[in-house]
Amino acid sequence: MNIAGFQPNSFVDYPSHIAAVVFVGGCNMRCWYCHNEQILDTKEFLDENEILAKIEKNKLFLDGVVVSGGEPTLQSDLSEFIDKIAMMGLDVKLDTNGKRPDVLEKLLPGGKINYVAMDVKAPLDKYHIVTPTTTESEKVLLKSIELISSSGVDYEFRMTVIPQLTIDDVVSVAKMLKGKKAFYLQQYVDHGKGFSSHPKEFFLEAQKAASEFLPTFVRGI
């Protein structure tokens, strides 16, 4: 695996878990606000065996491992890496943008993953304000949403609400996800782009409106 970063423990990246976080390099999206943009095109990677040894050493103090990125589903040996974590007796959470449903289709039925978090960037017709996309991309995103929600694996959908998005946009996504398990709204954090995040009142109103369609929660306000 092309491991570009590692966090030995986190209390916030995996619900109800203390987890190590593995960040892989490379991504098939280029979201303008990406907080991990420094690893998207990096050629400098950590030694996988050393990372696994660190996880093994600390596993008594961990509940699981988060595989994040970048975009993990681009890694050809993702399945094998997940197997190595599972052999330590740790749960695995996968973070994904949903653009590789073919990979999810292979991973989800095998019980390899215990939790999936998929980022829904915006209403599908507004993905272009976040990252370049095509009509074909919209189709694969919808396929990933259905694969995840019907897999039997614990999951969430989440949306970083950038300043350009409105409450109507949040509601549009909630309608698309109607009946799913959980929808999390996340605060945009500016990393030198010069944009202000939405106020708390915006999120409370958006949460109330979206909750009509599925359980909706707010993080980071």
What is the set of domains in the chain, with CATH numbers?
3-219 (3.20.20.70)
For residue range 151-181, what is the model confidence (pLDDT) as tens digits?
999 999 999 999 999 999 999 999 999 999 9
pLDDT band at 82 (very low <50, low <70, confident <90, very high): very high
Q: What is the pLDDT of residue 192?
A: 79
Distance between CA atoms of residues 168 and 210, nearest Å: 9
Instruction: Give percent above pLDDT 90 in the chain.
Output: 90
For residue 27, give every residue at least 6 positions away whose Cβ sits within 8 Å of its Cβ, in sequence order, or none: 34, 40, 69, 70, 71, 74, 97
pLDDT band at 84 (very low <50, low <70, confident <90, very high): very high
For residue range 191-211, what is the model confidence (pLDDT) as tens digits?
777 888 999 999 999 999 999
Q: What is the pLDDT of residue 201?
A: 97
Model confidence at 134: pLDDT above 90: no
Q: What is the pLDDT of residue 115?
A: 98
Q: What is the pLDDT of residue 133?
A: 81
Q: What is the pLDDT of residue 110?
A: 81
Q: What is the mean pLDDT of residues 104-111?
A: 92
Half-sphere exposure of residue 88: CA atoms within 13 angstroms, side-chain side: 22
Distance between CA atoms of residues 109 and 202, nearest Å: 38
Q: Quote the mean pLDDT of the chain.
A: 95
Distance between CA atoms of residues 82 and 153, nearest Å: 15
Model confidence at 135: pLDDT above 90: no
